[in-house]
Amino acid sequence: MGGWYVCINELDSVALRTEELAWLPTSQILARTGARELDPQAVVRAHLDAIDRLDPRIHAYVYVDRNARSASGVDVAVKDSQPVAGMPWTYATPSWKDRIATEDAVPVARARRAGMAVLGKTNLPELAAAIGTTNTLFPATNNPWREGITPGGSSGGSAAAVAAGMATVALGEDMGGSVRIPASCCGVVGLRPTPDRIPCEMVDAAGLSSRGALGRSVADVRYLFSVASATEPHASPPRRARRIGMAVDSSLGANAACQAACRRAADALRSAGHVVEEISWDPEPVAAGYAVVRRASMASFPADLSTFGPGIRQLAEQGKSLTAMDYFHAFDSATSAANRAVNAPLHTAYDFLITPTLGMLPMAIERVPPFLGDEWRRYVQFVLPVSFAKVPAVSVPAGLHEGLPVGVQLVGQLGEEYALLDFAEELEAMTGFGFQRPPGLDN
């Protein structure tokens, strides 16, 4: 490649090839296009070129708009659980394999108004009900860091697209960790906001789902969140010492490398003057309650159960047999446990919490734990209680273990996404944290 060049003054006036344009952050894209130093379509072309080169083996996208147009220079990939007018909206289930959306989701419409190009739709597991990204409609999505390794799920296509330089930013959704899990697996930043901070036109009876943002930096995620939520970042206050509660283990056990990443983050924060103290973490009642709530939510999908994959069909059928009291007791138990683990420390003692994002490292695609099973509980033990606590959280890249990414989760106060992102940006700037490019993508 490399036939198209542009001069970026902020990068020492070095001419960048098309491949390098794919990695530009939002701040530089907006500044250069605003100064008419960069064609707004240049980054879009670079990402379409990257998709042509890389996606035949990564399979992040299920649909690509080759005519995508950007007025701002920024583009966005959208998880196929969210409608984009004129594009497929399959939710990765055969029931909707031919469905075409007639309207944009609210965050998509807002992204368009901000001048973003919508590059296309990204892959997910059927009905977003898995922690990997496989389904019966499309090829399995690979982790850009290593072929055959899961990108996480359910926003795995969005995370993989961003990590591989095939989009500037991406939209995902997070009910039980579905933005934070793939962010950790792919080594990108993933924000789960407080539910409904980014509006959703679809009903979530449990109130757990949250539309979120993925990017290669906290700044990129902040920008997409600002656009999608129609809010403005506040002026960052002077930095001061913060009190942070740290959970690194539970009765379910956590991988040593995941724990080590969290402890490294805690040490870095202490060295910056913050106070970090260990707290207890009891995820088991949350996982047990979520297993009931999620079965019920799958049973409520307005689709033909006979068309679901066997695993999803079984869970949905189990959901249909649940009573209202089953649901109420499960939700109440999970919420109470989440409040003890997450909200009580935040309300009484700490500004933020920090945990490993995941209890296990990324694994081979065929070894992804079955949804709602025992190993799944160990995998999601840190993200799931935060979902039930309904507070914002962000996964930040925390280096590599044996060549694969590992992330740490920062948890903030209700509705305080910008304060959380400011704090995450402080950690991101420390040695050993933040995005790294996966190897082999320029070949």
Tell me the pLDDT tens digit for each residue of 146-195: 999 999 999 999 999 999 999 999 999 999 999 999 999 999 999 999 99
* Model pLDDT for residues 62-106, shown as the tens digit of each residue: 999 999 999 999 999 999 999 999 999 999 999 999 999 999 999
Residue with tokens 């079984």: 314
* Model pLDDT for residues 342-378, shown as the tens digit of each residue: 999 999 999 999 999 999 999 999 999 999 999 999 9
Measure the CA–CA gap between 138 and 131, rounded to whole angstroms. Answer: 16
Question: Measured in whole angstroms, how far is the alpha carbon of residue 355 from the centre of its chain?
Answer: 16
Residue with tokens 């993989």: 160
- The backbone region for 283, taken as left when phi is positive above 0, alpha when psi lies in -120 to 50, beta otherwise, is alpha
Measure the CA–CA gap between 238 and 348, rounded to whole angstroms. Answer: 23
Residue with tokens 């009931």: 292
Measure the CA–CA gap between 439 and 257, rounded to whole angstroms. Answer: 21
pLDDT of 41 strictly over 90: yes
pLDDT at 13: 28
Residue with tokens 């902020």: 10
Of 50, 31, 33, 52, the C-alpha closest to 41 is 33
pLDDT at 303: 81
Residue with tokens 């991988």: 255
Tokens of 176: 């039980």
pLDDT band with cut points at 50, 70 and 90 for residue 16: low
- Element (H or E) spanning 86, and its range? none
Collapsed DSSP state (helix, strand, coil) of residue 208: coil
Amino acid of residue 312: I
pLDDT at 241: 96
- The backbone region for 218, taken as left when phi is positive above 0, alpha when psi lies in -120 to 50, beta otherwise, is alpha
pLDDT at 443: 64
Of 82, 86, 88, the C-alpha closest to 62 is 88
Amino acid of residue 432: G
User: SS3 breakdown of the chain: % helix, strand, coil, rounded to 5?
Assistant: 40, 15, 45
* Model pLDDT for residues 116-157, shown as the tens digit of each residue: 999 999 999 999 999 999 999 999 999 999 999 999 999 999
pLDDT band with cut points at 50, 70 and 90 for residue 45: very high
Residue 391 burial (C-beta neighbours within 10 Å; 0-12, 13-18, 19+): buried
pLDDT of 11 strictly over 70: no
pLDDT at 313: 92
pLDDT band with cut points at 50, 70 and 90 for residue 34: very high
Collapsed DSSP state (helix, strand, coil) of residue 437: coil
- Element (H or E) spanning 14, and its range? strand 14-16
* Model pLDDT for residues 294-335, shown as the tens digit of each residue: 999 889 888 888 888 888 999 999 999 999 999 999 999 999
Instruction: Kindly state the average pLDDT of the residues 32-49.
Output: 96
Calculate the average pLDDT of the chain.
94
Helix 310-320 to helix 284-299 angle (10° resolution) is 90
- Element (H or E) spanning 136, and its range? none
pLDDT of 19 strictly over 90: no
Measure the CA–CA gap between 405 and 162, rounded to whole angstroms. Answer: 14
pLDDT at 150: 98
* Model pLDDT for residues 379-428, shown as the tens digit of each residue: 999 999 999 999 999 999 999 999 999 999 999 999 999 999 999 999 99
Measure the CA–CA gap between 89 and 118, rounded to whole angstroms. Answer: 14
The dihedrals phi and psi of 176, each to the nearest 5 degrees, come to -120, 25
In 42-81, DSSP assigns E strands to 61-64, 75-79
Of 132, 126, 184, 129, the C-alpha closest to 369 is 132
More confident residue, 17 or 46: 46
Give me the domains of the chain, ranges plus CATH numbers: 18-428 (3.90.1300.10)
Measure the CA–CA gap between 229 and 119, rounded to whole angstroms. Answer: 20
Say if strands 117-122 and 75-79 run parallel, antiparallel, or are unpaired: parallel
CB 118 within 8 A of CB 130: no
Residue with tokens 């009190």: 243
The dihedrals phi and psi of 406, each to the nearest 5 degrees, come to -135, 145
The dihedrals phi and psi of 314, each to the nearest 5 degrees, come to -65, -45
pLDDT of 4 strictly over 50: no
Of 345, 330, 326, the C-alpha closest to 286 is 330
Measure the CA–CA gap between 27 and 30, rounded to whole angstroms. Answer: 5
First to last CA, the chain: 10
Measure the CA–CA gap between 123 and 61, rounded to whole angstroms. Answer: 6
pLDDT band with cut points at 50, 70 and 90 for residue 259: very high
